[in-house]
Amino acid sequence: MNPWLVALLVNSILAVPASTSRVKVLTPQGILHSWALGVLILGALGWAGYAIIFVYFVVGTAATRIGFAQKQARGIAEKRGGARGPANVWGSAATAAVTALGQLIVPHPLWLMAYVASLATKLADTTSSEIGKTYGRTTYLITTFRPVPPGTEGAVSLEGTLAGMAAAIALSSLGASVGLIPWGALPWAVLAAFLATTVESLLGATIQSQGYLSNEGVNVLNTALGAVLGAGFLWLWG
């Protein structure tokens, strides 16, 4: 069967439970945009690429739901009960979509490295933020290292940072397991995620907190930097 027809069928089937589930992880518009993203990824990168973004979505959603009632009571939970809309979808995965298109048009291992690194970066960011809000004993503003309340833009915690790195290692390892990147590139993907997530915290503490850039805009820059760093490291390493 044509891979694009398979992509259409698979994502249409998955859209049904997403629309009927009691726990809304996507808005109706978010479901539509996620469907389009899923079709592109599965059609362009096959099951290996699809496994990466699927696991990213599942783990990222789970991290958001951890301690959600507690975060909601403190006013630091995601909006709309954690349901993601189109801006969230593309803020997180626009870079992944671009790398998938690049691989479709001009196949090259660097596109695949950039794809894995971009999603490892975003998963590290999401996990570190959500775990830090729930379990972080002390959160520090990355620009001054002064203690700040959890949920402050640009705040980091030891617990959140460790959780984010664990998530980046896990997703990058999956990328190597399914053959998108060589195992030798694993440290570079994780390093790219760590550096890009650190820059994201710096942007959050500065231009985002001052209103110059939205959270989704910071996410696009974050994942783009992770992709560029990952591909650059692989190019130098290779």
Find tokens 């190019």 and name the residue: 235
pLDDT of residue 196: 97
Q: Name the residue with higher pLDDT: 205 or 40.
A: 40
Is pLDDT of 82 > 70? no
Q: What pLDDT was estimated at residue 121?
A: 98
C-alpha torsion sign, points 144, 148, 154, 160 = positive
Give the residues across from 156 on adjacent strands: 140
Q: What pLDDT, on a 0 to 100 scale, did the predictor assign at position 80?
A: 67
DSSP 161-205: HHHHHHHHHHHHHHHHHTTSS-GGGHHHHHHHHHHHHHHHHHHII
Counting every residue written for the chain, the total comes to 238
| Residue 21: domain span | 3-237
pLDDT tens, residue by residue, 58-76: 999 999 888 877 877 777 7
The pTM for the full model equals 0.95
Percent of the chain with pLDDT over 90: 69
Report the domain count for the chain.
1
Structure tokens at 232: 């650059």
Question: Per mean pLDDT, which range of 10-24, 103-117, 184-198, 213-227 is the poorest?
Answer: 10-24
Distance CA 117, CA 107 (A): 17
Alpha helix stretches (DSSP H) within the chain: 3-20, 28-65, 68-73, 86-105, 109-135, 158-177, 186-203, 215-237
